[in-house]
Structure 1
Amino acid sequence: MLLRGTTSSPFVRKVRIAAQHLKLDSQISLVTVDALNAVESIGPDNPLRKIPVLRLDNGRRLYDSRVILEYLDHLAGGDRLLPKDWDKRLDALTLQALGDGILDAGVLVVYEGRHRPAEIHHEPWLAYQRGKIERGLEAFATAPPDPTHFTVGTLALACALGYLDFRKQVDWRATQPTLVAWLDRFRAAVPAYDLT
């Protein structure tokens, strides 16, 4: 299988960590694409021109990271990333939505700086995105899940914190010490986090 994306994408990172955690990484090759030239580099695989895309051996293309994670869970026998128990599954999916929402807002902050000239940066819009990040982190810190229980939810939240460390959209470490400790415990339980 071919995983098309970039190593700097937090959504690609989610897939790479899950593949390693599930011992499926030997079946997947990362093919780096030019995210700034998405029309040519990713367009044929995803009409939305977003990464990641997983191209299966039979030519089928799966996108986005949530769908790919569900597929990897299926390949690994199920109940590894997505609990079969309905209440636990809803919890994991809700946490995934929280982590992905933090990531989406973080990516938009980065794109504003990368793709728009400084003289037309819209500060109220940037503040709105940072507010989403901060509210998401506050909700996460209020009821953090067990960081040693690997699900799509804990994975998305860990990748969100990692992306905020990487791109510095907000200084979460100064305001959320509970989450600093949470991420340390996740990293200890999931070696693939540091490997990616």
Structure 2
Amino acid sequence: MKLHWSPRSPFVRKVMIVLHETGQLPEVELVPNTVALHLPPDPEVLAANPLGKIPALVTEGGTVLFDSRVICEYLDLRSGTGLFPAQTEARIDQLRWQALGDGLTDILLLWRTELTREAGPWTAVTDGWRAKVRAAMARLEAEADALAAGPSGIGQVAVICALGQLDFRWPDCAWRAHFPQLARAEAVWAAWESVKATAVAGDGAGPDAVTAGQLTFGP
């Protein structure tokens, strides 16, 4: 298999965690690609995925899968690991947490890109994103005990990647101080070998100058 990949993409990280958890990483060739909303589409990625996005996985049979949700479920089915449970209630919980984690990640990515516009960000839009991020984090805090209990699955993986994006691109938001139950759960997840192996590395330059001061929690 071949994975169109970037070390800084939270959705690629989601697939990488699943590859680690399912023991399939040795079967995958990683193909580095640079993809961003403000850049022209990468020709190699566009040839594989008409949406021009990563991750995109080329299976052994030559089929190209795109969208991390599709790729992760394929890898789970292929391995029989159970990150997507068969039992209805457990499966819906995992899919709901995946949707919340992925949606939070989407907002954070779009927001950061909006902040880099030469004309300046559209305040009405960024104010809306701020409210949605706060609401999403509050919901995750309320469900942190449920997320931390029981078998882990794709829901926890998606939330891990969203929180990783907060740490990487919004490092001054101090989310752990405001969401202690979620912080406790995240500390456990951070010890997973798959999570440590896929950590997004910063450049050592300190807080992101683009996002600094843009996101706060609490009153």
Aligned position for 2:59: 56
Aligned to 1:7: 7
1:53-108 CA-to-partner distances (Å, cap 9, x unmatched) read 00112211001000001001111125x21001011000100000000010010111
Task: Report the counterpart of residue 184 of structure 2 in structure 1.
Answer: 181
Q: Which residue of 1 aligns with 2:48?
A: 45
- Taking structure 2 as the reference length, the TM-score comes to 0.83
Q: Map Cα deviations across residues 114-158 of structure 1 (whole Å, 9 max, x no partner).
A: 4x21x3311221121122111111001101212673211010011
One of 150, 161, 164 as aligned partner of 1:162: 164
SS in 1 for 2:48: coil
Q: Structure 1 pair 62/147, CA: closer, same or farther in 2 (3 Å)?
A: farther
Which aligned segments of 4 or more residues in structure 1 are displaced greater than 4 angstroms?
A: none
Q: Does 1:23 align with 2:28?
A: no
Question: What CA distance in whole angstroms lies between the structure 2 residues aligned with 1:71 and 1:88?
Answer: 18
Hey, what's the Cα distance between the residues in 1 that align with 2:170 and 2:134?
13
Q: Which residue of 2 aligns with 1:65?
A: 68
Structure having the higher helix fraction is: 1
Q: Number of residues paired by the alignment?
A: 192
Contact persistence 1:147–1:183 (CA under 8 A) = no
Distance 1:107 1:171 in 2: 18
- 5+ residue gaps, structure 1, are none
The match for 1:103 among 102, 105, 108 is 105
SS at match of 2:46: coil
Q: Indicate conservation of the 8 Å contact 1:99/1:159, yes or no.
A: yes
CA deviations over 1:133-185 (Å, ceiling 9, x no partner):
11111001101212673211010011110111000074422321221111001
Identity of aligned residues (%): 34
List gaps (5 residues or longer) in structure 2: 199-219
TM-score if structure 1 supplies the norm length?
0.92
CA RMSD, 1 decimal: 1.6
